[in-house]
Structure 1
Amino acid sequence: MTNIPETGRTPRVQIRLVVIQILVLSLLCTLGGRLWYLQIRQGDEFAKEASGNHVQQVVQPAVRGAILDARGVPLADNETRLVVSASRTELLKMPDDGEAVLAKLADVLGMEPKEVQEKVRLCDAKTPQPCWNGSPYQPIPITDEATARQALQIRERAEDFPGVTAEPQAVRRYTAPGEANTAQVLGYLSPVTDDEIQKAQDTESPYLRSDQVGRSGLERQYDSELRGKAGVTRYEVDNLGRVIGEAESDAAEPGSNLVTSIDARVQRVAEYELNEAMKAARKEWDRNTQENYKADAGAVVVMESRTGRVVAMASNPNYDPNAWVGGISAKDYASLTGKTSNYPLLNRAIQGQAAPGSIFKVVSTAAAVEAGYDFNGNYNCASSYSVGGQVFKNFESQNHGAIDLGRALEVSCDTVYYSLAHSEWKKDGGINPKGKPKDYFYKAAHDFGLGKETGIDLPNEVTGRVPDRQWKQDYWEANKDAWCKTGKKGGSYVEVIAYENCLEGNKMRAGDQINYSIGQGDTLVTPIQMATIYAAIANGGTLYNPTVGKAVVSPDGKKVTEIKPRSHGKLPVTKQTLTQMDEALEGVATRGTAAWRFGGWPQDEIPMHAKTGTAEVYGKQTTSWFATYTEDYSIVMTISQGGTGSGASGPAVRNIYDALYGVSDSGAIDPKRALLPAPQKSLPKVRTDGTIVAPKISKDPAKEQKAAQKDGEAPADGQQLPVGTAPPPDTDNRQTRRRRGARPRGGRRMLGRGRRTCS
């Protein structure tokens, strides 16, 4: 083997190492120079470009849960419509920002070009509706009422409509089954606002910009349950809006379904009868104002006496909640909110306040007994009562002589309550009380739940008003400057009242307490409050929080969360007093002020209890009130400027009871005609796929009930449910049922149809 001396290889290795070092150094210098160029020389420019690369999200709306009646009939659900949408990103890539494309689209859809252009502009503080409040990176709906022909034109001529799509989507629908509108109870939807998004960021149910949220009614109250969770696909886009990659995607989760205690058939009857009663009242002559009654608004509540669940709730004037679907037009919005429409968006069952008139006397009766007056004592029902030179008259100046409190309720004797209230006012120290007054009459109203919310599961309930001493003081402090400025001694009626209020408007005067005792003066109540009170009298004294929601059912049907009845107190009366009041209110329906409206009613089978009320309102016609209950239901109706209680509201309430129990004009009970002879206890049947079984409902239960009542035949749907539907309501034998505390009877009581004697 030949050995090569190491000295021969060393120069070549060293040369190679030097060359490598030079190359490495050159590369490092080049890289360093390039980094300097990018980071220092061009750093600001590239940073600006990089800031345009970000993630945008495209939202797939969740299918909103349905709102169902107690038997599973949809009151609000979703329907598939052809929705035409435009991509704002694609439009802005065009030289004219898509103006020509939108003009063509408007022509196909039969819309004005300006109307379509306004749909795709983004909302901000300076841009009025209509505008788009959602993400600019997702398709913006132009219309959800496209026809199949219009959609076909758009899809076949895709080259003429770049960025425009026409495809089926789920859209909210208010079904009005059997003509049951239920608008104020259901509410409506509209796009979420920036403020709402900001407030909900840290909650368990944050909003997305594309969300539709409930604005009133059940849609608002149960929004988080109904809304579900939208699906979100996140895209990486550059500063020009071009998609450069997909980051991640979350599937949409549908909302839960809400089962209510509303029965669509009874709801329709309640709406129909309220409207008919108002139309009838407008034909009646008001001898006080020398014109027909205006009957401009009204409400009715049908409630389960033993649970507080609402079976029907109607408010008039009414509106179509479908007007809000897809965005309300300026014309429709003006018609719903203008003064001439009398504000149909108001739910007058929970937001309408008025003096209650004589239906308030159950509160005054309880107060009198609590103050120590004997229920069975003798009280003078004179034709009038005088205080300090002022005469307070009984209704139509009736004089019934010496009567007890039960009879005072039956004939609605005002002067008995005037005397009791005045006596207590004097015991409390009169206009200048010493110490702390007992104020039995005002305390009773608070204990009955007045002056505060009932707790119903609907938003924006009002409290009404109990004009006690604290309220008088607060009201006087807020208004005394205006009263002192406009008041005038010896002037007009309004000026004299202002003058007196300026001097002593914070003091409880005798007239204040006298008027208060019969539900007049400054007292204000709502129909739902009075329905709750009369239901409590019916059930033995429990004041329930009224509820419309009955259960929340998960989308897959596997989880059912029932909404249990809850109580907020007991009536401040003994069992004995409650029984005595119960018997007196039965007397109202059989021989008192409501007897002429319940002639022929099967009193032995279904004991009826009632109280009429006619409230005077300064500057307006009288308010009609009719409060009633049976063992099962409490029904209260009121009509603003409608006349007397039994005269205007009485027939409608009787007709609702006839429909519930299947009572004919002759007084016979026909179970086949009965819509709901006992409250619905069971929930609708849920299929394995999560859908809910819904029975069929006739086209118009109210009109069919009218027709059946005349010819004695059962309406089309009656209690005949399709195979596989929810079971009928739990019933029992009416022949053997007896009301709480009922006194024995030898046979059916003959009911008179005599003329009304009191309010």
Structure 2
Amino acid sequence: MTNIPETGRTPRVQIRLVIIQVLVFSLLLTLGGRLWYLQIRQGHEYAHAARSNHVQRVVQPAVRGSILDARGVPIADNETRLVVSASRTELMRIKDRGKAVLTRLAGVLGMNPQDVMDKIRLCDSKTPKPCWNGSPYQPIPVTLEATTQQALTIRERPEDFPGITAEPTAVRRYPAPGGARTAQVLGYLSPVTDDEIQKAKDSDSPHLRSDQVGRSGIERTYDKQLRGKAQVTSYEVDNLGRVMGQTQSDPGVAGSTLVTSIDARVQAVAEYELAQAMKTVRNETDKITGRKYEADSGAVVVMETKTGRVVAMASQPDYDPNAWVGGISGQDYARLTSKNSNYPLLNRAIQGQAPAGSIFKVVSASAAVRAGYPFDNKYNCSSSYSLGSRSFANFESKGHGPITLGDALKFSCNTVFYALGHKEWQRDGGLSPKKDAHDWFYRTAREFGLGSETGIDLPNEVTGRIPDRHWKKSFWEANKDAWCREGKKGGTYVQQIAYENCLEGNQLKAFDSINFAIGQGDVLVTPIQMAAIYGAISNGGTLYHPIVGKASIGPDGTVEEVKPKVHAKLPVDAKTVADLDKGLQSVVEPGGTAAWRFGGWPQDKITMHAKTGTAQVYGKQTTSWLATYTDDFTIVMTISQAGTGSGASGPAVRNIYNAMYGLTMEGKPTGKALLPKPEAKLPTVQPDGTIQAPEVKPYVPPTKEELTPGLAGPPAPPRHLQD
């Protein structure tokens, strides 16, 4: 065997090793160079691309909960509509960014192509509406009202409409059962704003960009319960908008159903009768101005006396809340917010302020008793009351001689309260108030709940105004400069008033307290405040927070009741409450100012109480007020620039009671009572979560033949019986 020397193989091995080393070094050099190129030279571009691979959330909004009346009738619910939507992500991948597709879609829907394109553009600070404020990764609604044929056309030609869907979707609806719009009570929805998203970011109910939120009414108050929880699916998306995969899915929860204390049948009656009363009085001539009454606005509240639950609440002018569904048009929005339409979005039952007129006298009578004037003592009801060179007349300048405070309510005698208000002003020190001044009239008004919110579960309630010494001073400080500029001694009436206010507008003068005692001057109240007060007199002295919500029923059937809450007790004893009750009962009995409107009422079976009021407002016609109650219900109505209390509001209030109790004008039962007693039970929820709603028939107003002679058209009684 031949041995090969080891040294003979060494050169070849070394050459191979060198070659391998060179290759390895070259590979390492190439790899290093590539890494340098990717990380250093192109690093910022790839970092940007990596950041563009992120997670996007697609939101499927929860079905908003229905709003029901006390018997389970839907007054706000959802209906299935054919909704055509566009996927912005898919359209942006097309060469022309979807312009041709959207143009074809506009042709099918009968819309302007530019309008369709505007709907899917994204909102920012520079983009005017319409635009999309939600996520660009979810379908954007183009129309909520597609026809079946339009939907079929889109679905049968997917090649012509990439990124376009036509699907049945739940959309908010306000069905107005029996004609009851309940507009201002319900409110409306609109898309959430960026500010609202930021504010709610750390709360237990954060907003999503796709959310529709309540803007007013109970849609706003109970928005959290009604909105539910949206289903959110997270996708990983690259910088081209391509979905890389699903990362997470949070299931949604449907919104709860809200049961209210509103009775749709009574609501329909209240809305109709208020509107009809305003229409009727516009045909009558105001004897003071010689013009037809304007009757430009009004409100009515029907409330349970023992709980504060609101059975009906109407405000005029009103509107159709369906105008907001799917986005309100510019024309409709301008109409709802314009001065010419007199702002129908306002709920005048809680936002309308006016002097109370004579319905305020229950407060003044209570204040007088607290100040030491016995209810049953005799007080002179003269035809006028003099203060220096000024004379304050009784209504129609009629006197009744010495009468009790109960009779002062019955006849609505101004001069009795003028004198009491003046005496208390003097006892408190007049222009130089005592340090321990009782201010019984102003103090009592505040303790009756006036000058502050009632706490009703509706947004934007106003407080009204009690013009006591503190208010006079603060109001003078805020307006002094303007008064001093505009005022002129011996000038026009307005200039003279401004001149006097400039000099001494911070003083509570005698005539301020005289006017205050009959609910005039600078005092302002709301219908809901007065309904709470008269309800408290009816129930024995308990002021309740008025309330609309009654119960929330979750999608799993759990029920959370909204309990009535006591606000306060009237600041008078039980005897005074009973005296007030008796005096208000006499108002509807012979000789009382409301008797001519309640002729034939079955007083022995359903005791009626009332107080009429006619408030004077500078530069306007008088405002009509009528406050009434039985053992179970309180009804307060007011109509601006409509004349006297019983004259304008009387027929409407009587018709509402007749419908509720099922009575003819002669007081005979019709067998068709809508609500003789408050609704105590909640609607029955079926095992599948649905509620069997009873039918609500449209309200049929009484005919002229059904009205009594005292209401149908014979001459009205003297004006001193109409205050």
TM-score (norm. length: structure 2)? 0.95
Separation (CA, whole Å) in 2 of partners of 1:27 and 1:674: 97
1:546 equivalent in structure 2: 546
1:187 equivalent in structure 2: 187
CA displacement, residues 5-44 of structure 1 (integer Å, 9 cap, x when unaligned): xx99x999x9999999888777655544433332223212
Q: 1:298 offset after TM fit, Å?
A: 0.4
1:526 equivalent in structure 2: 526
1:673 equivalent in structure 2: 672
Correspondence list, 1:101-140, <5 A: 101-140=101-140
Separation (CA, whole Å) in 1 of partners of 2:46 and 2:155: 41
2:711 equivalent in structure 1: none
2:314 equivalent in structure 1: 314
Contact persistence 1:611–1:628 (CA under 8 A) = yes
State the SS of the aligned residue for 2:551: strand
Q: 1:116 offset after TM fit, Å?
A: 1.4
1:560 paired to 2:523: no
The one-letter code of the counterpart of 1:323 is A
Q: 1:355 offset after TM fit, Å?
A: 0.5
- Sort the Cα spacing of 1:521 and 1:711 in 2 relative to 1 into closer, same or farther, 3 A: closer
Correspondence list, 1:459-538, <5 A: 459-538=459-538
Name the stretch that deviates more: 687-696 or 607-616: 687-696
Separation (CA, whole Å) in 1 of partners of 2:704 and 2:382: 45
Q: 1:124 offset after TM fit, Å?
A: 1.4
Contact persistence 1:359–1:625 (CA under 8 A) = yes
Separation (CA, whole Å) in 2 of partners of 1:224 and 1:107: 39
State the SS of the aligned residue for 2:169: strand
CA displacement, residues 360-381 of structure 1 (integer Å, 9 cap, x when unaligned): 0000000000000011111000
1:200 paired to 2:163: no
Separation (CA, whole Å) in 2 of partners of 1:304 and 1:80: 36
- Sort the Cα spacing of 1:708 and 1:639 in 2 relative to 1 into closer, same or farther, 3 A: closer
Separation (CA, whole Å) in 2 of partners of 1:709 and 1:661: 19
CA displacement, residues 406-458 of structure 1 (integer Å, 9 cap, x when unaligned): 00000000000000000011111111223242110000010000000000000
Name the stretch that deviates more: 624-633 or 104-113: 104-113
Q: 1:127 offset after TM fit, Å?
A: 1.7
1:686 equivalent in structure 2: 685
2:330 equivalent in structure 1: 330
Name the stretch that deviates more: 391-400 or 91-100: 91-100
Separation (CA, whole Å) in 1 of partners of 2:10 and 2:562: 95
Correspondence list, 1:251-330, <5 A: 251-330=251-330
Contact persistence 2:395–2:413 (CA under 8 A) = yes
Correspondence list, 1:697-716, <5 A: 697-698=696-697, 700=698, 702-703=699-700, 706=702, 710=706
Correspondence list, 1:40-189, <5 A: 40-189=40-189
Contact persistence 2:665–2:707 (CA under 8 A) = no
1:722 equivalent in structure 2: none
Contact persistence 1:451–1:465 (CA under 8 A) = yes
- Sort the Cα spacing of 1:756 and 1:289 in 2 relative to 1 into closer, same or farther, 3 A: closer
Structure 1, gaps ≥5 residues long: 713-751
Separation (CA, whole Å) in 1 of partners of 2:118 and 2:220: 28
Q: 1:676 offset after TM fit, Å?
A: 0.5
2:635 equivalent in structure 1: 635
1:585 paired to 2:584: yes
CA RMSD, 1 decimal: 2.4
Separation (CA, whole Å) in 1 of partners of 2:568 and 2:309: 16
The one-letter code of the counterpart of 1:587 is S
Separation (CA, whole Å) in 1 of partners of 2:96 and 2:335: 36
Contact persistence 2:70–2:263 (CA under 8 A) = yes
The one-letter code of the counterpart of 1:226 is L
- Sort the Cα spacing of 1:610 and 1:283 in 2 relative to 1 into closer, same or farther, 3 A: same
Name the stretch that deviates more: 593-602 or 684-693: 684-693
Contact persistence 1:599–1:753 (CA under 8 A) = no
Q: 1:132 offset after TM fit, Å?
A: 0.9
Q: 1:695 offset after TM fit, Å?
A: 1.2
Separation (CA, whole Å) in 1 of partners of 2:77 and 2:101: 34
The one-letter code of the counterpart of 1:677 is P
Separation (CA, whole Å) in 2 of partners of 1:682 and 1:534: 25
CA displacement, residues 593-649 of structure 1 (integer Å, 9 cap, x when unaligned): 001111000001000000000000000000000000000000000001011000000
Q: 1:90 offset after TM fit, Å?
A: 2.2
CA displacement, residues 673-725 of structure 1 (integer Å, 9 cap, x when unaligned): 11010000100001112112211222x0x21x53699499xxxxxxxxxxxxx
Q: 1:248 offset after TM fit, Å?
A: 1.5
Separation (CA, whole Å) in 2 of partners of 1:54 and 1:604: 77
Separation (CA, whole Å) in 2 of partners of 1:17 and 1:202: 66
Separation (CA, whole Å) in 1 of partners of 2:466 and 2:317: 27
2:712 equivalent in structure 1: none
The one-letter code of the counterpart of 1:590 is E
Q: 1:96 offset after TM fit, Å?
A: 2.7
- Sort the Cα spacing of 1:242 and 1:197 in 2 relative to 1 into closer, same or farther, 3 A: same
State the SS of the aligned residue for 1:116: helix
Contact persistence 1:594–1:756 (CA under 8 A) = no
1:749 equivalent in structure 2: none
Separation (CA, whole Å) in 1 of partners of 2:704 and 2:503: 62
Separation (CA, whole Å) in 2 of partners of 1:445 and 1:308: 19
Contact persistence 2:396–2:719 (CA under 8 A) = no
CA displacement, residues 116-167 of structure 1 (integer Å, 9 cap, x when unaligned): 1221111111222211111111111111011001111111222222211111
State the SS of the aligned residue for 1:647: helix
Contact persistence 1:665–1:709 (CA under 8 A) = no
1:444 equivalent in structure 2: 444
Q: 1:241 offset after TM fit, Å?
A: 1.4
State the SS of the aligned residue for 1:342: coil
Correspondence list, 1:405-416, <5 A: 405-416=405-416
Q: 1:299 offset after TM fit, Å?
A: 0.3
TM-score (norm. length: structure 1)? 0.90
Q: 1:334 offset after TM fit, Å?
A: 0.7
Contact persistence 2:594–2:612 (CA under 8 A) = yes
The one-letter code of the counterpart of 1:377 is N
Q: 1:489 offset after TM fit, Å?
A: 1.2
1:757 equivalent in structure 2: 720
Contact persistence 1:595–1:754 (CA under 8 A) = no
Contact persistence 2:599–2:666 (CA under 8 A) = no
State the SS of the aligned residue for 1:399: coil
1:378 paired to 2:341: no
Structure 2, gaps ≥5 residues long: 709-714
The one-letter code of the counterpart of 1:186 is L
Name the stretch that deviates more: 249-258 or 461-470: 249-258
The one-letter code of the counterpart of 2:556 is D
Q: How many residues align?
A: 711
Separation (CA, whole Å) in 1 of partners of 2:513 and 2:72: 49
State the SS of the aligned residue for 2:560: strand
The one-letter code of the counterpart of 2:233 is T
Contact persistence 1:72–1:695 (CA under 8 A) = yes
Name the stretch that deviates more: 26-35 or 341-350: 26-35
Name the stretch that deviates more: 90-99 or 132-141: 90-99
Contact persistence 2:58–2:232 (CA under 8 A) = yes
Q: 1:94 offset after TM fit, Å?
A: 2.7
CA displacement, residues 183-235 of structure 1 (integer Å, 9 cap, x when unaligned): 00000000000000011110111111011000000100000000011111212
Contact persistence 2:319–2:344 (CA under 8 A) = yes
State the SS of the aligned residue for 2:441: helix
Separation (CA, whole Å) in 1 of partners of 2:223 and 2:301: 24
Separation (CA, whole Å) in 2 of partners of 1:454 and 1:434: 31
Separation (CA, whole Å) in 1 of partners of 2:17 and 2:565: 91
Separation (CA, whole Å) in 2 of partners of 1:104 and 1:289: 62
Correspondence list, 1:397-436, <5 A: 397-436=397-436
- Sort the Cα spacing of 1:402 and 1:46 in 2 relative to 1 into closer, same or farther, 3 A: same
The one-letter code of the counterpart of 2:551 is A
Separation (CA, whole Å) in 2 of partners of 1:88 and 1:667: 66
Contact persistence 1:190–1:324 (CA under 8 A) = yes
